[in-house]
Amino acid sequence: MNINENKTVAEVVTENIKASNVFKKHGIDFCCGGGISLEKACAKHNVEYATLEKELIAVDEAPNRTYDYNSWELDFLIDHIINIHHSYVEQSLPIISQYAEKVATVHGHHYNEVIEINKLFQEAAGDLAAHLKKEELVLFPFIKQLHKADKEGTDFTTAHFGTVNNPINMMESEHEAVGEIFKTIAKLTNNYTPPEDACNTFRALYASLDEFEQDLHQHIHLENNILHPKAIALEKKLA
């Protein structure tokens, strides 16, 4: 994506819809007010152009790495899940929520599905916010305790919830529930394909939902298929 001060906000978003999240972060209107140059947008919203340019370039340069997650120590894997996936969810929820609300309000009379999409996303957002806290405050610390006991050859304290299977079963049930919500959203959006006459906010909503679901799949994979089975096996080994 070629960035320069004279390029309009709308042109940048048209080239890469993911740039919309950068503008949203700085309060820059990329939809109806997107006809102004980046230079003028920065001046209007008191944003350093160099900062905006760097963030827009980073959208295109996001690395696409493949890791051998299965070889990682459990404590490192947990930190990765929190720092990458939990952080992504926490940063994305308010942005997508605003998109969904705006699109439902402005376009819901013509595209009825966006009203249901907004409702479903708000439900998922609330569920995920609570879900992440339960993992970070209950399940993950206990798995780290198991990992430490194994490495140091020490005893571990039995948790109030009993075996690690109990919180894992709850977390996986919640994973399934939010996964079903996004399956429904994908159907309602025709696999995140916006209408031909969609405005930039409409397009940003669908692109953000698509990206969010992809991250969610990777997030759940790391927990359900790697972290949880290893934690269960480790607890049995130490018992």
Q: Where are the domains of the chain?
A: 9-61, 69-238
Cβ 165 vs Cβ 139: under 8 Å: no
- What are 159's strand-pairing partners? 162
Cβ 168 vs Cβ 131: under 8 Å: no
Please state the φ and ψ torsions of residue 7, each to the nearest 5 degrees: -70, 140
Q: What is the pLDDT of residues 43-59, one digit of tens each?
A: 999 999 999 999 999 88
Predicted local confidence at residue 64, as pLDDT: 60
Predicted local confidence at residue 179, as pLDDT: 93
In order of 16, 119, 155, 200, 214, the CA distances from 4 in angstroms are 15, 38, 60, 20, 30
Predicted local confidence at residue 65, as pLDDT: 64
Q: Which amino acid is at 178?
A: V
Residue 67: DSSP 8-state: -
**How do the pLDDT tens digits run along the chain, 239 residues long?**
789 999 999 889 878 888 888 998 899 988 777 889 999 999 999 999 999 999 999 887 766 667 889 999 999 999 999 999 999 999 999 999 999 999 999 999 999 999 999 999 999 999 999 999 999 999 999 999 999 999 999 887 788 888 999 999 999 999 999 999 999 999 999 999 999 999 999 999 999 999 999 999 999 999 999 999 999 999 999 98
Q: Which amino acid is at 105?
A: T
Instruction: With CA atoms as reference, report the closest residue to 166 among 133, 143, 132.
Output: 143
In order of 31, 34, 66, 87, the CA distances from 24 in angstroms are 10, 12, 29, 17
Predicted local confidence at residue 61, as pLDDT: 74
